[in-house]
Copies of this chain bind each other. A is one copy, B any other.
């Protein structure tokens, strides 16, 4: 067995030797953000130095996050508050993926999009020129059910985009459900299906919660645009023109990040700074194996020791 190779199906611990091999063998690093770069509002130790080291070696850096609550612009600001300079063009959030997906299928501009989600989705959709309904605006709407009440919805809604929504309520669930059930051909798009997310240092119900709710009421399955769907990767490949074996996906989740990387043929590095534990990786129910695993991204700095 070659201790630096990736053909072996068993994941390898990121030693200083294979950290160097990994860095030398790829041209781009794709990073998940929550649980990899930061946890909620706290930066993970050693991240700025690691990113700087990779940039100094000419590596392309891309930040691929399933968290749809922010737009790329808002993410760039978040990086800035941590003193990390990241260009909007390097950020691929699932909010952006939803807008990019609609654009890619030539979703008509005269149709409207109903959003169960937060500001990030609205910002990205509006940037592309779509008219949005819902989102934060509907967060305070209440329903007074009585026999005379009739819930009206806009018949021009041609897509419902569902992402993480802290302000989820019955009004939004009804609005999205009616559009999908009653507007002919209305699309049901999920930014992602993560069960949980680190909105603070604690775990919180993720977009998978809101998406499942709409699956429950409509009995339909969504088009998923975030990880692990290949849509975002296809988009990335077209944009960066790098072969997938020359990319490494770094993430803290097996079923989104690592699966996303593996599906595309990238190298994969699992970090334990987020939701996944060693026992999750090694447990009998896990079938998703990364090429490498380590504690945090800063372990990539080990490669310096041997150079």
Which residues of A does B touch, CB under 8 Å? 40-42, 143, 145-147, 149-151, 165-170, 173-174, 177-178, 181, 193, 195-196, 199-206, 208-219
Structural contact, B170 and A195, CB atoms closer than 8 A:
no
Structural contact, A146 and B196, CB atoms closer than 8 A:
no
Q: How far is the CA of A120 from the CA of B213 in the complex (A)?
A: 22
19 contacts between A and B (CB under 8 A): A40-B147, A41-B146, A42-B147, A151-B200, A167-B169, A168-B169, A168-B173, A169-B169, A170-B204, A174-B205, A177-B205, A195-B217, A195-B218, A205-B213, A205-B216, A205-B217, A208-B216, A212-B216, A212-B217
Structural contact, B173 and A205, CB atoms closer than 8 A:
yes
Structural contact, A168 and B166, CB atoms closer than 8 A:
no
Q: How far is the CA of A281 from the CA of B165 in the complex (A)?
A: 37
Q: For residue A145, which residues in chain B have a CB less than 8 angstroms away from its CB?
A: 166, 199-200, 204
Structural contact, B201 and A147, CB atoms closer than 8 A:
yes
Q: How far is the CA of A40 from the CA of B148 in the complex (A)?
A: 10
Q: For residue A146, which residues in chain B have a CB less than 8 angstroms away from its CB?
A: 41, 200
Q: How far is the CA of A217 from the CA of B218 in the complex (A)?
A: 18
Q: How far is the CA of A41 from the CA of B148 in the complex (A)?
A: 9
Q: How far is the CA of A231 from the CA of B234 in the complex (A)?
A: 48
Structural contact, A195 and B216, CB atoms closer than 8 A:
yes
Structural contact, B212 and A170, CB atoms closer than 8 A:
no
Structural contact, A147 and B41, CB atoms closer than 8 A:
yes
Q: For residue A149, which residues in chain B have a CB less than 8 angstroms away from its CB?
A: 200
Q: For residue A167, which residues in chain B have a CB less than 8 angstroms away from its CB?
A: 169-170
Q: How far is the CA of A146 from the CA of B42 in the complex (A)?
A: 11
Q: For residue A208, which residues in chain B have a CB less than 8 angstroms away from its CB?
A: 216-217
Q: How far is the CA of A262 from the CA of B164 in the complex (A)?
A: 39
Please name 19 further chain A to chain B contacts, defined as beta carbons within 8 Å, in addition to the given A168-B168, A213-B213, sorted by A numbering: A143-B166, A145-B204, A147-B200, A147-B201, A150-B201, A166-B170, A167-B170, A173-B205, A173-B209, A177-B196, A178-B203, A181-B203, A195-B219, A205-B217, A209-B213, A210-B216, A211-B216, A212-B215, A212-B217
